[in-house]
């Protein structure tokens, strides 16, 4: 309905609104034009019966004219068509009954015709339930009247009017016109409604198709973005590997003090750059849904010691007190979970705590909240007495690429990805991070995690490569390196020479297989992406060799690729280990030791 119609409005266009369905519009039109017809018909009837001196009928026709005029005005002023229809039907029903029982005291063809109009009108205007109600209200009294009259016992103290032929003709004529008008109107709008439904169905189908295409496009571009980032990571990490590796080597070469200082800056910046690349990659991995959580055995206390051990030094360098408090109930327990991801979460939170604290302390607390049979709930908390976070920023800092403030970005650097990664890693495990902070006083980051507990005793650190192996053992190792990048080859050679190892170099996978056929090697360091034959195919060839010693030679994959599935692929291809470039020299040598000592 339109709000702007005034009291003196008589136009139908002003009371029909575009939002209404075709059927409702048809209902309003039906009332509007129907009122005209009924008004004219009752006017003619009034004149006819009045001049014949049929007073009861004249009153009835007059009442009908008056009611119709009032309802018409109501419709053109406030088109509440349901209420108006009810009013019209109630008046119609009362008139019908009064004609049968009082005015005429008989039933004739006009009565029946009017009942039919009422039935059709009530169904079309108000639907099934009200249609049935008004139909019964009009037919039952007539049937009752017929029964009473049949028994000859209908007596009333009013003299009935006699209806003449002219009145019958006028009434029949009016009701025929009304019936035809109602049906015709409704049928047209019914067809229109079906057409509209069909059209909106077609529109919906077109929209769905567009939507599907848009989703497909978005997915494609996300995939392209993610692939691009992975490729870029490889491209960036390869030279970065050389920079970090070379600076490590130079540091081992007892540099002069001023050279050492420069080297430290070089190493720090390269490591920083690597951390940023890794953050972007991790975030990309999570966002593209490629992250799969591991469920392996680990000792939480050892893990926390390891993560915080390195950070403790950083805190001490800044003159901060660093405390790690672990609940005694968690000691000597082995859990199932993903230690890599827990490390990543704690590492990010602790690094931030140290980064944003100038004096005071950083406190990492691990508490056992609940210890059921084979499940524990652990609360992790990282607290600091640092700069704090504005309350308005508490939510936004969890969003990617969002930092506390521009000034903070300039002062502390970073990508604004650390907390976004933490949040997403926790989200994916159905956990939530809580942050409490006060500007100038410090912050606390909290989250809970549940772990299934392994029933086995914690493994003793027998296979940890902390055991010192004699220097000459390493020096005696025959190492084959399959690597096409000249800088990397140079780097590896220099690195291994520190342990007295002189490696053999194969410039691609095919050469590595040939070397294996003709020579004896204790271990292979295999780059994965090489020309002619890649690392996977070369491993495959080697594993097929007839000599069991050669076929089972330990192979460590070396790659700068950061693709999520690469680790699984490496093990699937039959390699024994995986070192991601750029690696720390100690990591590589530990891997070599653990694999060769076992053999």
Q: What whole-number distance in Å separates Cα of residue 185 and Cα of residue 351?
A: 77
Q: What whole-number distance in Å separates Cα of residue 238 and Cα of residue 244?
A: 10
Q: What whole-number distance in Å separates Cα of residue 106 and Cα of residue 100?
A: 6
Using the rule CB under 6 A, is 92 a contact of ligand ADP?
no
Hey, which residues does 447 pair with through a beta bridge?
380
Task: By CB under 6 A, name the one of 61, 286, 419, 492 that touches ligand ADP.
Answer: 419
Using the rule CB under 6 A, is 126 a contact of ligand ADP?
no
- 232 vs 276, which CB is nearer to ligand ADP? 276
Distance of CA 343 to the CA centre of its chain: 27
Could you tell me which of 524, 502, 497, 503 has the C-alpha nearest to residue 512?
Answer: 524
- 36 vs 412, which CB is nearer to ligand ADP? 412
Hey, which residues does 365 pair with through a beta bridge?
325, 381
Task: By CB under 6 A, name the one of 118, 420, 426, 538 that touches ligand ADP.
Answer: 420
**Which residues 6+ apart lie within 8 Å of 461 measured at CB?**
none
Minimum gap (Å) between residue 236 Cβ and ligand ADP: 18
Piece in contact with ligand ADP (CB under 6 A), picked from 414-422, 470-478, 494-502, 528-536:
414-422
Piece in contact with ligand ADP (CB under 6 A), picked from 418-426, 473-481, 519-527, 578-586:
418-426
Tokens at 366, concatenated: 């691990």
Block residue for tokens 């342990």: 499
Minimum gap (Å) between residue 555 Cβ and ligand ADP: 37
Decide if 218 contacts 210 (C-beta within 8 A).
no
Helices within 78-108 (DSSP H only):
81-98
Decide if 343 contacts 301 (C-beta within 8 A).
no
What is the sign of the dihedral through the CA atoms of 454, 458, 459 and 464? positive
Piece in contact with ligand ADP (CB under 6 A), picked from 53-61, 123-131, 416-424, 516-524:
416-424
Piece in contact with ligand ADP (CB under 6 A), picked from 139-147, 380-388, 461-469, 535-543:
380-388
**Which residues 6+ apart lie within 8 Å of 26 measured at CB?**
185, 186, 188, 189
C-alpha to C-alpha distances, 240 to 235, 244, 289, 375, nearest whole angstrom: 9, 6, 27, 42
Piece in contact with ligand ADP (CB under 6 A), picked from 110-118, 188-196, 415-423, 507-515:
415-423
Instruction: Characterize 200-227 residue by residue with b for buried, 16 or more Cβ atoms within 10 angstroms of its Cβ, and e for exposed.
Output: eeeeeeeeeeeeeeeeeeeeeeeeeebe
Distance of CA 34 to the CA centre of its chain: 54
Task: By CB under 6 A, name the one of 97, 334, 408, 566 that touches ligand ADP.
Answer: 408
Using the rule CB under 6 A, is 356 a contact of ligand ADP?
yes
C-alpha to C-alpha distances, 591 to 78, 469, 558, nearest whole angstrom: 86, 13, 12
Minimum gap (Å) between residue 402 Cβ and ligand ADP: 6
How many residues touch ligand ADP under the rule CB under 6 A: the total is 21
**Near ligand ADP in 257-296, by CB under 6 A:** none
- 139 vs 415, which CB is nearer to ligand ADP? 415
**Near ligand ADP in 387-406, by CB under 6 A:** 387-389, 397, 403-404
Piece in contact with ligand ADP (CB under 6 A), picked from 245-253, 280-288, 411-419, 528-536:
411-419
Q: Pattern of binders to ligand ADP over 429-468, x per CB under 6 A? A: --------------x-------------------------
Using the rule CB under 6 A, is 386 a contact of ligand ADP?
yes
Using the rule CB under 6 A, is 425 a contact of ligand ADP?
no
Decide if 470 contacts 494 (C-beta within 8 A).
no
Using the rule CB under 6 A, is 353 a contact of ligand ADP?
yes
Question: What does the binding site for ligand ADP look like in residue numbers (CB under 6 A)?
Answer: 348, 352-353, 356, 384, 386-389, 397, 403-404, 408, 414-420, 443
């Amino acid at each position: 309905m339109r709000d702007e119609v005034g009291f003196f409005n008589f136009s139908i266009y002003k009371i029909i609104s575009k939002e209404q369905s075709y059927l409702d519009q048809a209902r309003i039109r039906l009332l509007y034009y129907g009122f005209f017809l009924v008004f004219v018909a009752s006017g003619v009837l009034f004149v006819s019966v009045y001049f014949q001196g049929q007073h009861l009928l004249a009153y009835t026709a007059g009442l009908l004219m008056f009611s119709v005029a009032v309802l018409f005005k109501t419709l053109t002023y406030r088109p509440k068509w349901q209420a108006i229809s009810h009013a019209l039907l109630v008046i119609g029903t009362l008139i019908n009954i009064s004609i049968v029982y009082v005015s005429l005291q008989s039933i004739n063809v006009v009565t029946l015709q009017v009942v039919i109009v009422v039935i059709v009108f009530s169904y079309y205007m108000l639907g099934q339930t009200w249609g049935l109600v008004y139909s019964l209200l009009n037919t039952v009294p007539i049937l009752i009247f017929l029964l009473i009259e049949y028994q000859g016992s209908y007596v009333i103290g009013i003299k009935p009017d006699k209806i003449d032929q002219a009145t019958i003709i006028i009434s029949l004529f009016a009701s025929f016109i009304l019936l035809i008008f109602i049906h015709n109107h409704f049928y047209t709008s019914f067809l229109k409604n079906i057409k509209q439904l069909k059209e909106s169905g077609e529109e919906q189908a077109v929209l769905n198709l567009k939507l599907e295409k848009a989703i497909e496009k978005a997915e494609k571009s996300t995939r392209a973005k993610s692939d691009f980032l992975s490729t870029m990571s490889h491209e960036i990490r390869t030279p970065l590997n050389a920079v970090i590796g070379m600076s490590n080597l130079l540091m081992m070469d007892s540099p002069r003090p001023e050279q050492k200082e420069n080297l430290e800056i070089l190493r720090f910046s390269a490591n920083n750059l690597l951390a940023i690349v890794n953050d972007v990659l991790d975030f990309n991995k999570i966002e593209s849904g490629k992250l799969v959580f591991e469920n392996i055995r680990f000792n939480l206390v050892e893990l926390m010691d390891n993560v915080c051990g390195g950070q403790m030094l950083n805190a001490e360098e800044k003159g901060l007190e660093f405390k790690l408090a672990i609940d005694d109930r968690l000691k000597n327990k082995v859990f199932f979970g993903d230690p890599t991801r827990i490390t990543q979460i704690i590492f990010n939170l602790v690094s931030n705590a140290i980064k944003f604290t100038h004096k005071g302390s950083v406190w990492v607390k691990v508490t056992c909240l609940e210890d059921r049979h084979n499940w524990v709930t652990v609360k992790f908390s990282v607290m600091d007495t640092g700069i704090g976070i504005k309350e308005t920023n508490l939510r936004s800092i969890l969003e990617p690429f969002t930092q506390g403030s521009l000034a903070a970005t300039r002062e502390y650097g970073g990508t604004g990805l650390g907390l976004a990664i933490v949040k997403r890693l926790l989200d994916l495990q159905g956990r939530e991070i809580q942050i409490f902070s006060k500007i100038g006083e410090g912050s606390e980051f909290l989250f809970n995690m549940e772990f299934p507990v392994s029933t086995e005793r914690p493994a003793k650190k027998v296979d940890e490569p902390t055991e010192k192996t004699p220097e000459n053992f390493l020096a005696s190792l025959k190492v084959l390196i399959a690597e096409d990048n000249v800088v990397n080859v140079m780097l590896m050679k220099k690195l291994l020479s520190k342990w007295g190892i002189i490696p053999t170099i194969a410039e691609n996978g095919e050469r590595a297989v040939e070397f294996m056929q003709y020579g004896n090697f204790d271990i292979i360091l295999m780059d994965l992406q090489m020309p002619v034959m890649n690392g996977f195919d070369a491993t495959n060839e080697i594993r097929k060799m007839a000599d069991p010693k050669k076929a089972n030679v330990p192979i460590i994959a070396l790659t700068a690729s950061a693709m999520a599935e690469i680790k699984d692929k490496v093990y699937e291809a039959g390699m024994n280990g995986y070192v991601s470039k750029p690696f720390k020299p100690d990591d590589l040598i530990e891997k070599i030791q653990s694999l060769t000592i076992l053999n």
